[in-house]
């Protein structure tokens, strides 16, 4: 009997997972009386968002061997995300995250991941390297670099992507998703991001995350610094000031959509899933960025995260009703 070839997924993400326990009322948590639960965690949400756009998606992560872990494993396929690479870690609890909702722009997050989150227990030996190498898009986040053994596993996965010579590989995306609570210092994150960027073809983050990654908060300088590190596409999210994307020969700037924000959390993950869709479709930078911008806006008008991810049709209808004004320019010269 011959071994079956590894499955070539459209999108594989790797990293954080949790159960989000979100209040159903705005205001301080101590005053909230009802909550809802949903699957959460940035890498997991991006896989869910990608699947909403029709991608064959999977997530590599770890949960506790507990009811919340079973809930995650059961729910992922309902979203269209394969759970073949979701394993349990005995002795650790599945993380829980709470938020407070103070629209339009204050959404504090409270992570319950002590003494250690299972998703930081991914090991190099446990990686599905053949599938990672063959995935059209492989998506990782900076959080996975914060502790061992996850740090070494992420670097091993990124090296495998760089070394892969198959014709299914399209992009390796590094989400600059920096959260200070997970790191001993910003400098420690900067050192790890520098290594990861050597293997990424796309980098995406906000201005604070770009400062940690490359020491720049100005969107244009941050994008240029990311391009200088070797990525092909640099995306800098600017919140109420819009979003910038640059390649070596093109720059696109889009204004934000004017919406009534319900909960800004998860907007970036919706943006990320939409980004994978644009990359898979081979769209232009402008069309891809407009689609991402709209997807993120839609999520911000909804209360939860994973359950809020829009379909392709929803994003297209949103864009028809609220086209994004933007500026596209060609660079004067191709960067070395």
pTM for this entry: 0.94
The closest alpha carbon to 158, from 202, 214, 198, belongs to: 198
Q: Quick one: tokens of 81?
A: 């995300």
From the DSSP assignment, how many helices (H) and strands (E) are in the chain?
A: 10, 15
For 227, the 3-state DSSP assignment is helix
Task: Give, rounded to a whole angstrom, the gap between the first and last alpha carbons of the chain.
Answer: 49
Tokens read off for 200: 């990424």
Cα-to-chain-centroid distance, residue 101: 21
Q: Token pair for residue 131?
A: 């599938």
pLDDT in single tens digits along all 336 residues of the chain: 345 678 999 999 999 999 999 888 889 999 999 999 999 999 999 999 999 999 999 999 999 999 999 999 999 999 999 999 999 999 999 999 999 989 888 899 999 999 999 999 999 999 999 999 999 999 999 999 999 999 999 999 999 999 999 999 999 999 999 999 999 999 999 999 999 999 999 999 999 999 999 999 999 999 999 999 999 999 999 988 899 999 999 999 999 998 988 888 899 999 999 999 999 999 999 999 999 999 999 999 988 889 999 999 999 999 999 887 666 676 543 333
Strands 109-112 and 96-99: antiparallel
């Amino acid at each position: 009997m011959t071994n079956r070839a590894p499955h070539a997924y459209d999108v594989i993400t790797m990293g954080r997972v949790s159960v989000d326990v979100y209040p159903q009322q705005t205001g301080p948590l101590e005053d909230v009386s009802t909550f809802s639960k949903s699957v959460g965690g940035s890498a997991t949400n991006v896989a869910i968002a990608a699947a909403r756009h029709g991608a064959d998606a999977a997530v590599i992560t770890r949960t506790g061997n507990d009811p919340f872990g079973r809930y995650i494993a059961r729910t992922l396929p309902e979203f269209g995300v394969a759970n073949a690479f979701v394993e349990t870690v005995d002795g650790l609890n599945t993380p829980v995250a709470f938020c407070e909702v103070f629209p339009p722009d204050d959404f504090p997050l409270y992570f319950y991941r002590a003494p250690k989150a299972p998703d930081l227990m991914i090991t190099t030996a446990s990686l599905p390297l053949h599938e990672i190498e063959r995935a059209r898009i492989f998506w990782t986040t900076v959080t996975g670099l914060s502790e061992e053994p996850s740090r070494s596993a992420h670097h091993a996965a990124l090296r495998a992507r760089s070394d892969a010579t198959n014709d299914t590989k399209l992009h390796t995306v590094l989400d600059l998703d920096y959260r200070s609570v997970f790191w001993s210092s910003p400098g420690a994150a900067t050192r790890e991001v520098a290594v990861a960027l050597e293997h990424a073809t796309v980098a995406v983050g906000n201005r604070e995350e770009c400062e940690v990654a490359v020491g720049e908060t100005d969107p244009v300088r941050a994008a240029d610094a990311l391009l200088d590190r070797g990525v092909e596409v640099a995306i800098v999210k600017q919140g109420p000031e819009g979003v910038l994307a640059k390649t070596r020969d093109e720059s696109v700037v889009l204004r934000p959509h004017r919406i009534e924000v319900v909960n800004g959390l998860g907007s970036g993950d919706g943006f990320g899933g939409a980004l994978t869709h644009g990359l898979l479709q081979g769209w232009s930078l402008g069309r891809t960025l407009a689609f991402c911008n709209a997807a993120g806006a839609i999520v911000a008008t909804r209360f939860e995260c994973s359950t809020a991810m829009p379909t392709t049709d929803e994003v297209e209808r949103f864009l028809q009703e609220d086209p994004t004004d933007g500026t596209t320019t060609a660079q004067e010269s191709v960067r070395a």
